[in-house]
């Protein structure tokens, strides 16, 4: 008997409720990438996100909940999605009952002796030599 991965997104519209944790982990969820969504928002006169005004997980979730469709049915194709990893972090937070940054710090970074590693939260930490992701031009 094959064990199915649980549905991960009950807050999403019906079309996206077929998405599983496995889909999120393997980039086969077909959730639209939030970076594409924020680019479209900026072009339409919406908020402009930057290193100083980073999009927050709850904002990503709201954007995803507003989407009328997935790119294609979950599990049928592979497409890299930052959105999937945001949703995974939200799932971890909900199940663990603690903020994702705290979960990672206590259950991964400290256990592995990663003293100089953290989840960056704007305004909460000062990180010298911080690296930012760069979009392909």
**pLDDT tens digits in sequence order for the chain, 137 residues long:** 444 445 556 567 777 778 889 999 999 988 889 988 988 888 888 888 877 788 888 899 888 988 888 888 899 999 998 999 999 999 999 899 999 999 999 999 999 999 888 887 767 767 777 776 665 54
Residue 35 lies in a domain: yes
Residue at 106 is within a domain: no
Prediction pTM value: 0.78
Q: What are phi and psi of 69, to 5 degrees?
A: -165, 165
Which range marks the domain in which residue 79 is found?
14-97
Residue 38 lies in a domain: yes
In a domain, 121, yes or no: no
Altogether, the residues listed in the chain come to a count of 137
Three-state DSSP class for residue 7: strand
Count of domains in the chain?
Answer: 1
């Amino acid at each position: 008997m094959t064990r199915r991965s649980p549905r991960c997104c009950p807050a999403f519209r019906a079309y996206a409720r077929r998405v599983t944790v496995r889909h999120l982990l393997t980039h086969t969820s077909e959730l639209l990438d939030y970076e594409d969504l924020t680019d479209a928002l900026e072009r339409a006169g919406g908020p402009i996100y930057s290193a100083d005004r980073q999009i927050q997980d709850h904002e990503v979730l709201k954007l995803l909940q507003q989407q009328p469709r997935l790119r294609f049915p979950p599990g049928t194709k592979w497409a890299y999605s930052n959105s999937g990893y945001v949703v995974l972090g939200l799932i971890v937070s909900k199940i663990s009952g603690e903020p994702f940054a705290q979960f990672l710090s206590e259950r991964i970074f400290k256990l592995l002796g990663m003293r100089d590693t953290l989840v960056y939260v704007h305004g909460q930490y000062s990180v010298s030599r911080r690296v930012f992701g760069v979009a392909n031009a």
